[in-house]
Amino acid sequence: MARRLIIIEDDETWNFIYRQQLRDAHDIVIAAEFECAEDALQQLPQLNPDVAIVDISLPGISGLEFAEKIQEHPSMKIIFVTSHQEEYLSNHNTHGHLVLAKGDKKGLLSTLSV
């Protein structure tokens, strides 16, 4: 069964890029795309996704804050994306979730294949 994935990203260019990159991912279906974390939180119960690609820098609630708020969905895998990966190398706020550089196709595909 295909895994359901949501994208929370405010820059449309990156939505396009993720979509394109995800075409090479096996059994992944993009269930929804959100421009901000608040919208995603609202829809989360109905959607019940398996994976989420979350931009760390979002307007309003940040990607990190989003991760804190979704404790009710512990089974959802979160993949953080950022332009400044090095700033989060030893960051405790990421709660153990993977932090990828934006545009890193290889990293994205490899973490999804697990």
Asked if residue 21 binds another protein (CB under 8 A), the reply is yes
Query: Using the rule CB under 8 A, which residue among 3, 14, 36, 69 binds another protein?
Result: 14
Asked if residue 102 binds another protein (CB under 8 A), the reply is yes
Rounded CA-CA distance 68/102 in Å is: 21
CB atoms within 10 A of CB 68: 11
Query: Using the rule CB under 8 A, which residue among 98, 101, 110, 113 binds another protein?
Result: 101
Spell out, one character per residue from 60 to 89, where the chain touches another protein: x when CB under 8 A holds, - when not: -----------------------xx-----
Rounded CA-CA distance 101/80 in Å is: 9
Contact 52, 60 (CB under 8 A): no
Asked if residue 113 binds another protein (CB under 8 A), the reply is no
Q: What is the DSSP string of 10-30?
A: S-HHHHHHHHHHHTTSTTEEE
CB of residue 1 to another protein, shortest distance in Å: 26
- For tokens 């090479």, the residue is 24
Q: Which residues bind another protein (CB under 8 A)?
A: 11, 13-14, 17, 20-21, 23, 83-84, 101-103, 105
